[in-house]
Amino acid sequence: MANAASGSGDNYAAIQAWASVGAILAGFLYVGVQRWLDSRAAGAAAGRLARHSVDFVTERLEALIDPAKPIEFALRGARATEMIEVFRELEITKLPSGTIEAIAVIRSAVHAVNSRIDEVLIDDAKRRDERRSRLYSAGRTLELARHEYDELRSKLAPWNRRAAAPLSSKMTQFMQEAANPARGS
């Protein structure tokens, strides 16, 4: 009779051990799934910030190269700079690994374009007639950011419930001139 009682005690201990292991595995699974969901949300947010950053810098560059546009440089500059700062504050380590390179390239490109615009505006009084050609490097860098954004959109597509909006095709002629400055007018 003692053996029978001992056998059921061993079974109970084994069941308890397996239940403990199962609970630990379930905890790890829960944490893993939660991190994956957080990474998806961070990736989607990064995609939206990337789009706004590229759009704001594009709008600022467009206003600078098109003399027919109303001049609101201070407001556009502050808006673009703030968006870029928010974008730069993204914690890269929380993003899906496949998006990090595109985010880094876009961040550096929009920052470089915005800085170039500031530089041209500071020096503009002396060299206004050279403005367009001086902004070609900004156009080429912006084109790189736009290309990387398209890559980022495709990488984020599986995680987004709704498709990320494509960038508008503003400044096509200027981008072509910037790519081939010798042919530009």
Residue position matching structure tokens 């027919």: 68
Domain extents in the chain: 2-179
Please give the torsion angle defined by the CA atoms of residues 33, 34, 36 and 40, in that order, rounded to the nearest 10 degrees.
Answer: 140
Q: What is the pLDDT of residue 123?
A: 75
pLDDT in tens, 16-67: 888 888 788 777 777 777 777 667 777 788 888 888 888 888 888 887 777 6
Amino acid residing at 125: A
The DSSP string of 152-168 is HHHHHTTT-SSPPPPPP
Cα 14 to its chain centre, rounded Å, is: 50
- Angstrom distance (rounded) from CA 85 to CA 111: 9
Position 112 pLDDT exceeds 50: yes
Amino acid residing at 126: K
Tokens of 15: 């069941």
Q: Tell which residue, 164, 134, 162, 181, has the closest CA to residue 50.
A: 164
Pair 104, 174: CB distance under 8 Å = no
Position 185 pLDDT exceeds 50: no
Position 134 pLDDT exceeds 80: no
